[in-house]
Amino acid sequence: MKTEFKLTENILNHCGIILYRIQLTKDCIHGEKDDLGGWVEKKENLQEGAWVSGNAKVYGDAKVYGDAWVYGDAKVSGNAKVSGDAKVYGDAKVSGNAWVSGDAKVSGNAKVSGNAWVSGNAWVSGDAKVSGDAKVYGDAKVSGDAKVYGDAKVSGNAKVFGNAWSESPLQIQGTKHFFNVCSNDRIQIGCHSLTFDNWLTDFNEIGINNNYTEIQINEYKMYIDLAIKLYRK
């Protein structure tokens, strides 16, 4: 259902750009008629069933549409797009030609810029930065101080933090759990995130405790050995 709203006379000068507080003109899932929302530069910034609330700002040629929601102190600018059921909140920033879509979330102080794409159920949070032509999708999570840029892709159930990735980190869909290198000295297998050395010491015991077969334990040991060969400095 289309969100019916208007630009109020309440204006804000944001870095030389005049923004307008928006107000609902009809009851909807976002609130009741006359409820105030966030800030936009023009009505074209907000389309379809989307909403902007709190102190969030959408300006430039940016578009928030579908059932997307931008709130908190978030900013969406440039030619960026936020669509589907995506959420951008906290102090997050989406700019340039970036696109956040699907059920993706961008939160905290995270920044998505350039031609980057965050989609699916992906979540970019903390102080993470996704830029260039990078793609984060599936159920992937990028957090902490991680930087994903260039042509790097983070997908599946991968979790990445605390590293700068200009190339895609090692990600393998194993026979039981997803495997990925999540920083320069850590590996994530399923819900377990351990250092290289800890995996070498404990992989057999962890496998047994998680009902891995002997074949699967050997399979994941090969992945661990490969990761250490590729990433240990």
Note whether 8 and 66 are same-domain residues. yes
Note whether 209 and 186 are same-domain residues. yes
Domain termination site, one of 115, 133, 167: 167
Mean residue pLDDT across the chain: 97
Q: Does the pLDDT of residue 5 top 80, yes or no?
A: yes
pLDDT at 180: 97
| Structure token pair of residue 94 | 């989406």
| Structure token pair of residue 174 | 């194993």
In a domain, 118, yes or no: yes
Domain of 115, in residue numbers:
103-167
What is the Cα–Cα distance from 57 to 100, expressed in whole angstroms?
16
What is the Cα–Cα distance from 218 to 213, expressed in whole angstroms?
9
Note whether 134 and 151 are same-domain residues. yes
Note whether 124 and 158 are same-domain residues. yes
In a domain, 97, yes or no: no
What is the Cα–Cα distance from 142 to 110, expressed in whole angstroms?
9
Contact indicator for 150, 167 with CB cutoff of 8 Å: yes
Rounded to 5°, angle at Cα 163 from 85 and 200: 110
Q: Average pLDDT, stretch 71-97?
A: 98
Note whether 82 and 21 are same-domain residues. yes
Q: Does the pLDDT of residue 220 top 90, yes or no?
A: yes
What is the Cα–Cα distance from 80 to 133, expressed in whole angstroms?
13
- Which stretches of the chain are DSSP H helices? 196-209, 214-231
In a domain, 96, yes or no: no
Domain termination site, one of 167, 194, 221: 167
In a domain, 191, yes or no: yes
* Residue 163 pLDDT level (bands cut at 50, 70, 90): confident
In a domain, 94, yes or no: no
Q: Does the pLDDT of residue 192 top 90, yes or no?
A: yes
Instruction: State the Rg of the chain over Cα.
Output: 21
* Residue 138 pLDDT level (bands cut at 50, 70, 90): very high
Note whether 194 and 211 are same-domain residues. yes
pLDDT at 162: 86
Q: How many domains does the chain have?
A: 3
pLDDT at 1: 84
- Angstrom distances, CA of residue 136 to CA of 25, 44, 45, 177, 199: 36, 27, 24, 19, 26
Domain termination site, one of 167, 189, 208: 167
Q: Average pLDDT, stretch 160-167?
A: 92
In a domain, 29, yes or no: yes
| Structure token pair of residue 169 | 């980190």
* High-pLDDT (> 90) share of the chain, %: 97
Which residues does residue 75 pair with via DSSP β-bridges, in sequence order? 57, 93
In a domain, 132, yes or no: yes
pLDDT tens-digit map of 36-69: 999 999 999 999 999 999 999 999 999 999 999 9
Which residues does residue 68 pair with via DSSP β-bridges, in sequence order? none
